[in-house]
Each structure stands twice: as structure tokens, then as C-alpha cells.
């Protein structure tokens, strides 16, 4: 259907697009899943300090094979190393960094984003599927810049960008910008506003797979 | 003072049926696997487990769930790759689940340990997880009143300990262990190395006053 005719970024291209907007010197929390790939694409010459809520500030690269430490992981449970200047801490301190406004940017995945900036990324409507909130609700209330990266539509073609979320909310009016495989959109008081289209896509084609208006 | 005990079995002996038990750890890191195995052997059942995750694979909390020892789980992220035993028990309606945002979980535990009656957090304001809870608007921002979370026992994992109960940690194995030590009536720490000499006071992360017993378990998972 319509989606097939659209030009879609790969996950790596999407991560690279988000990474372009992460400034030098930022303290950043990357959500589990796709957002973890952003760090690999931050342009050379920028120092970004990554916070992982399980108790490390200054998450460094994956260790070489054979040098993994099972007690040195990130929130995605991947083996990591400490970057220069890293610190370890306990959970209450870690969430003070998040809730207390000390982290500059968080990049999160989402099930749905509303034109009001409402975010749904922790529970579906399926009772059999146990909800798992983790640190998402703490991040969205405390981090001033919440960026979402996700596919523009669900596998069945239904929109993830909506006037109002239908899934339980993670936070209200918290999303600043949404990066999808099809477009980049800002959340404004008037609704979604186009920042850019993935080259090759027309605005009308992207509008057709979006469940809310897109302002230009 | 000597809070060290000879073995894991002695360390978990006081845990009774129906007890609430905080268990440190996040993912595979900082989990007291030795104490959990000893608790399984000891046989206590009908437990309330308070932990960030609800176990994965066939070890740790997953094993407690598999063996039917858990009546209730309070956690932030029960669903992880391999959390099959949690999912089985949950789908069968055999366990009660309370999902708490991770920072609220840590702070409720800390509040209990610090003698506070609760706290106001912006986390979850306006969401399903705040339903039925008291709220307050301060300077235009909404907050949810959260209660302290106590437990009868805490099972902790630390890198080093001394006979006074002082603990230091390794890398990201610290996570929930320090706050859980504070919030439980009886905290048991499994340490990779039990030093007979006192730890350097500058290196102590969890002061011994929060810890009731220490047992050496040299295995790093």
C-alpha cells in the first residue's frame, strides 16, 4: 500500500539523523532499543556524556570480546566500558539526575506520539502483555528535551503519530521532536510542524500515513 | 562487632513464609544469586518480591517464580528478554503485579529507609500509574504523592564487605542495593570478598548500620 511508495530511512540512517542534533557537551540518556544506536553516529569532535539509569554516567564503547564484565552493563543490559570521566552511582542518585533536570536530552522509542506531545511507550491495551514502565516516566518529567525516534507507521500500516494517543500515556505534552524513517517533525503548541522530509518523499504522501495534521 | 555469618543458609534462615523481600540487581548485574539459591533451598514461600526486574532465564528471581515461591511482585520492568517464568505466572493469574516507575521505586525504598512518610514526584502525573493517588499542583506543575516502601528483608550483592557490615560495590552492580539495605528490617549482603580488616572508611558506600549480616560468596556471575 501507500507505505511501499515512500522513501524510508534504515535504522542506522535514522540513528545518524538523530545524532546530528546532539550537541557537544550534552548529557544524554538513550532509551533501550533503537535509541542506543545513536551514540555510534555522533559526529567526530563532539564529546557527549551518556547516562544510563542503572548507575553509570559516561557510558563508553562495547568491550572487546573476552573482556566483558557481567557487572558493567547499560540499561539495555549490553556490556559497556566506562568512558574517560565516568562515574558509578546508586539508583536514587541516578533518578535524581533524571528527575532533577540534570540530563539535557533523552532519546526514546515510542508506540504512539500525539500532536500535543503526549507520549505512549510503556503499555499496550493487551491484558496478557504485562506492562513494563522502567525509567521512561521519570525521564519525560525531568529531561527538558525529549526526542522520539521510531517508525512512522506500525507494521500493519496504521499511524503512530496521532491527534490523541490510544495507549496508556507515559507523559503528557513532553515530546519536543519526532524523528521517523519518513520525516522529522517538531511538536509545537499548534501541533506537528514539518522540519524535513526524508529525501524522495512528498508531504502529501507522508500526511497520508499520519494520524494528525502536519503544519509547514 | 561481627556481622559475618558462616554460610548462605545461615544468612537466609530468618526469612519466613509470606515475608516481603527486596532483591538488589538490575539486569544481570548486582543480583545476589547465592542468597537467592539459598532461599530456594530454605523453602520460604508466599513471598512478596520487590526488585527492578522479575528475573530472566532459569536463575535468580526467575527460579523463585518457577518454583512457585512468589505471591506478589513489585517492580518497574517485569518483562525482559527471557522473562518466561514471570510471564507464565502472570498469564496464569498466579501472582499479583504492581508496576512502579523505576525512579519512584528507588525513591519509595529510599524514603522508607530515611524515615519519610512519602514524597511528591512529577513522575506518572496524569497517567494510569497515578490513578487513585493523591496529587498536588505546586507552581503550576503536577505531582503525585508516593508512599514509602518497606520490606522485612533485603538480599544484597556487594563486591567487598567487612565484619561491621560496611559494603563497597563493583561498577553497575551497585544499582538498588544501597537503598534496599536502608529500607529493610533485616538486610543480608552476599559479598565477593569478606575482608577481616575494616574497609577504608573513604571507600564505604553502604555504611554497616544498614546491614544485619554479611556472607562471603566468591562467585562473580
The pLDDT tens digits of the residues spanning A84-124 come to 999 999 999 999 999 999 999 999 999 999 999 999 999 88
pLDDT on residue A1: 47
A71 touches chain B (CB under 8 A): yes
Domain ranges of chain B: 8-117+148-216
Q: Kindly give the confidence (pLDDT) of every residue in chain B, 221 residues in length, as a single tens digit, with 9 standing for 90 and above.
A: 999 999 999 999 999 999 999 999 998 899 999 999 999 999 999 999 999 999 989 999 999 999 999 999 999 999 888 899 999 999 999 999 999 999 999 999 999 999 999 999 999 999 999 999 999 999 999 999 999 999 999 999 999 999 999 999 999 999 999 999 999 999 999 999 999 999 999 999 999 999 999 999 998 77
Closest residue in A to B78 (Cα) is: A132
Task: Determine contact, residues A33/A207, Cβ cutoff 8 Å.
Answer: no
Tens-digit pLDDT profile for residues A19-37:
999 999 999 999 988 899 9
B216 touches chain A (CB under 8 A): no
* Shortest alpha-carbon distance between residue B174 and chain A (Å): 6
Write the residue in B99, B170, B205 that is nearest to A71 by C-beta: B170
- Gap between the Cα atoms of A178 and B62, Å rounded: 37
Q: Which fold has domain B8-117+148-216?
A: Glutaconate Coenzyme A-transferase (3.40.1080)
Distances (CA, A) of A195 to A38, A143, B7, B76: 19, 22, 62, 35
pLDDT on residue A125: 81
CB within 8 Å: A169 and B29: no
Average pLDDT in chain A: 95
pLDDT on residue A4: 53
Domain A2-215 has CATH 3.40.1080.10: yes
pLDDT on residue B79: 85
The runs of H, that is alpha helices, within B92-151 are: 102-113
The x, y and z cell numbers of residue B158, run together, are: 556487594
- Gap between the Cα atoms of A113 and A128, Å rounded: 23
Q: What is the dihedral of CA A29, A32, A35, A38, to 10 degrees?
A: 70
Q: Which long-range contacts (CB under 8 A, 24 or more apart) does B59-63 make?
A: B59/B33, B60/B23, B60/B25, B60/B31, B60/B33, B60/B36, B61/B23, B61/B31, B61/B36, B61/B86, B62/B86, B63/B36, B63/B37
Q: Which residues of B touch A73 (CB under 8 A)?
A: 26-29, 172
- Cβ partners under 8 Å of residue A122, min gap 6: A131, A132, A133, A134, A136, A137, A168, A170
Rounded average pLDDT over A46-51 = 97
Q: Residues 37-96, chain B: which have Cβ within 8 Å of A?
A: 52, 76-81, 86-87, 90-91
Place of cell 503512530: A160
- Gap between the Cα atoms of A162 and A168, Å rounded: 14
Residues of A marked active site are found at: 53
Helices B102-113 and A91-99: crossing angle, nearest 10°?
A: 120
Q: Nearest to residue B179, comparing CAs of B15, B19, B24, B21?
A: B24
* pLDDT over 70, % of chain A: 98
pLDDT on residue A2: 47
Domain ranges of chain A: 2-215
Q: Residues 134-163, chain A: which have Cβ within 8 Å of B?
A: 134-138, 141-142
Amino acid at each position: 500500500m501507500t507505505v511501499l511508495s515512500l522513501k524510508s530511512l534504515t535504522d542506522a540512517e535514522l540513528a545518524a539523523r538523530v545524532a546530528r542534533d546532539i550537541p557537544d557537551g550534552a548529557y544524554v540518556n538513550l532509551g533501550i532499543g533503537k535509541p542506543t544506536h545513536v551514540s555510534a553516529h555522533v559526529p567526530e569532535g563532539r564529546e557527549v556524556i551518556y547516562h544510563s539509569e542503572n548507575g553509570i554516567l559516561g557510558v563508553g564503547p562495547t568491550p572487546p570480546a573476552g573482556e566483558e564484565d557481567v557487572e558493567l552493563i547499560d540499561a539495555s543490559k549490553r556490556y559497556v566500558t566506562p568512558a574517560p570521566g565516568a562515574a558509578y552511582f546508586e539508583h536514587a542518585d541516578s533518578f535524581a539526575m533524571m528527575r532533577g533536570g540534570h540530563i539535557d536530552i533523552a532519546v526514546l522509542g515510542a508506540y504512539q506520539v500525539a500532536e500535543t506531545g503526549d507520549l505512549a511507550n510503556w503499555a499496550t491495551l493487551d491484558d496478557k502483555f504485562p506492562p513494563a514502565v522502567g525509567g521512561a516516566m521519570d525521564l519525560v518529567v525531568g529531561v527538558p528535551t525529549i526526542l522520539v525516534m521510531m517508525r512512522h507507521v506500525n507494521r500493519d500500516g496504521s499511524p503512530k503519530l496521532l491527534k490523541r494517543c490510544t495507549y496508556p500515556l507515559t507523559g503528557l505534552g513532553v515530546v519536543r521532536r519526532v524523528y521517523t524513517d519518513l520525516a522529522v517533525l517538531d511538536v509545537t503548541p499548534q501541533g506537528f510542524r514539518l522540519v524535513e522530509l526524508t529525501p524522495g518523499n512528498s508531504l502529501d504522501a507522508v500526511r497520508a500515513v499520519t494520524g494528525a495534521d502536519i503544519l509547514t | 562487632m561481627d556481622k559475618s555469618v558462616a554460610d548462605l543458609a545461615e544468612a537466609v534462615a530468618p526469612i519466613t513464609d509470606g515475608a516481603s523481600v527486596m532483591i538488589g540487581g538490575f539486569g544481570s548485574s548486582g543480583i545476589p544469586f547465592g542468597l537467592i539459591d539459598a532461599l530456594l533451598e530454605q523453602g520460604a514461600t508466599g513471598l512478596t518480591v520487590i526488585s527492578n526486574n522479575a528475573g530472566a532465564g532459569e536463575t535468580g528471581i526467575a527460579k523463585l517464580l518457577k518454583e512457585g515461591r512468589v505471591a506478589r511482585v513489585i517492580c518497574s520492568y517485569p518483562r525482559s528478554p527471557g522473562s518466561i517464568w514471570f510471564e507464565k505466572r502472570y498469564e496464569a493469574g498466579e501472582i499479583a503485579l504492581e508496576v512502579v516507575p523505576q525512579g519512584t521505586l528507588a525513591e519509595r525504598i529510599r524514603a522508607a529507609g530515611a524515615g519519610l512518610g512519602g514524597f511528591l514526584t512529577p513522575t506518572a502525573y496524569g497517567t494510569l500509574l497515578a490513578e487513585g493517588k493523591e496529587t498536588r499542583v505546586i507552581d503550576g506543575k503536577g505531582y503525585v504523592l508516593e508512599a514509602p516502601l518497606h520490606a522485612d528483608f533485603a538480599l544484597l550483592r556487594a563486591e567487598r564487605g567487612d565484619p561491621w557490615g560496611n559494603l563497597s560495590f563493583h561498577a553497575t552492580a551497585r544499582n538498588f542495593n544501597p537503598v534496599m539495605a536502608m529500607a529493610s528490617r533485616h538486610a543480608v549482603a552476599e559479598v565477593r570478598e569478606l575482608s577481616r580488616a575494616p574497609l577504608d572508611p573513604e571507600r564505604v558506600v553502604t555504611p554497616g548500620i544498614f546491614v544485619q549480616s554479611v556472607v562471603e560468596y566468591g562467585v562473580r556471575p
